[in-house]
Chain A
């Protein structure tokens, strides 16, 4: 049995555009691999059972809970964290809108919020406030009361739609 099951697993993936090879413990969460091994401490490990959304990162184009995916499962995937999305200027307008609308206070939830919001925005169109609220319902914020976050996402959706039409 021991030769079948590994307690260390080799993975080969892309993180923020860079190739990464690593040997990870079988039960290690993706979020802990990103934070502790790669030093990408933007996304946070918080509730660790998939409820709060602070660990949300992008895996193969989709927003995913970093605490409900094992690093071992990330072999062959393409991962983007808030660091990569910031450095490539992919979400600059969203980040500026969060600041302009006071959509963050302590900032703990913000990296997860940004990845979740960008997933919705990347589909194009202008989602309604109700659709924004529903899409963001899996990300907790204990400071803002959410209204400002919905404002920020809505303003970016409108701005991007306007730019596309121009």
Chain B
């Protein structure tokens, strides 16, 4: 269908965007790459939004090194995340994830900040950020806040961003020596949303496992992580089934999603073994 927008303003800079958003009587909606928001508007899942278009704010785009972390500007596009040399060297999980996200034309405009703020429970980047223990930077009219990824995703399409705030950057720890990253998912066709997906980060300090498309938000599988730390893969697969409570829908039953999660964990573990062997 056709989108219904209440109004539009093209932000000149972040201060302008925050000012306009603050004066929108709660009707303001931040428009970045638009690859989820405009689709939602087209399906009339949302209508009458006052769009604050931040897509031209070059200050929010690009990847920079900051000590032991990388700072990824919110407007860095998926295609850029996939080809950025700093991300390839220090956060391979994000580079790997790009190949699973939709299709080339979507990746040309979609942004990592937009995908994170949209908080689709089936999306890859939010689960990656939880697995990595990333920090989400949001800027409001008076202050900037940093929120741990685990606390950021609240529910389906719901995050810790408050009225008047804009997601401005994502801060991810650089991989340490010997660290391994793997993302695995099952989708019916290339580019479709995953029926189930899993990110595995193996660090000296321990394993981190985050899943997507198996609940209302990306979630850490804490008991499976403990079993992996103990070297018990079979135990981790069993524990994973208890860590998650996936929904049944037209795409897959809860039992099938739970089964897939175990398969994906075994695949991810095997890939890490293969990489380090």
Q: Which residues of A contact B (CB under 8 A)?
A: 1-2, 4-7, 9, 25-29, 32, 48-50, 53, 56, 62-65, 67-70, 72-73, 75, 116, 119-120, 134-135, 137-139
Contact = CB atoms under 8 A, between A and B. Distances in A.
B38 A70 contact: yes
Contact of A32 (B2, B5, B10): B2
Contact of B109 (A2, A5, A69, A134): A69
A138 B47 CA distance: 26
Contacts of B8: 5-7, 9, 26-27, 70, 72
Contacts of B53: 70, 72-73
Most buried by B among A7, A26, A27, A72: A27
B interface residue count range (under 10 / 10 to 19 / 20 to 34 / 35 or more)? 35 or more
B191 interface: yes
B10 A70 contact: no
Contacts of B108: 62-64
B159 interface: no
Given A5-B24, A26-B51, A64-B109, A50 B104 contact: no
B213 interface: no
B2 A48 contact: yes
Given A27-B2, A49-B42, A5 B105 contact: no
A5 B51 CA distance: 8
Nearest to B4: A27
A134 to B, nearest CB: 6
A1 B34 CA distance: 22
Nearest to B53: A73
B174 to A, nearest CB: 29
Given A48-B2, A138-B191, A63 B104 contact: yes
B9 interface: yes
A15 B156 CA distance: 39
Contacts of B41: 27
B23 interface: yes
20 contacts: A1-B25, A4-B7, A5-B9, A5-B50, A7-B6, A25-B5, A26-B6, A27-B5, A27-B41, A28-B2, A28-B3, A29-B38, A29-B42, A48-B1, A49-B42, A50-B106, A68-B34, A68-B39, A138-B104, A139-B103
A6 B6 CA distance: 8
B226 interface: no
A1 B23 CA distance: 6
A26 B3 CA distance: 9
B2 A7 contact: no
A29 B42 CA distance: 9
B42 A4 contact: no
- Of the listed residues B6, B7, B51, B103, the one surrounded by the most CB atoms of chain A closer than 10 A to its CB is B103
Nearest to B40: A49
A69 B104 contact: no
Interface string B176-203: 0000000000000111000000000000
B35 interface: yes
B43 interface: yes
B109 A65 contact: yes
Nearest to A60: B108
Contacts of A120: 104
Contacts of A75: 10
A69 B34 contact: yes
A2 B103 CA distance: 37
B103 A138 contact: yes
A75 B9 CA distance: 12
Nearest to A8: B8
Contacts of B6: 5, 7, 26
Nearest to A56: B105
B3 A29 contact: yes
A138 B1 contact: no
Interface string B20-47: 1001110100010011001101110000
A49 B39 contact: yes
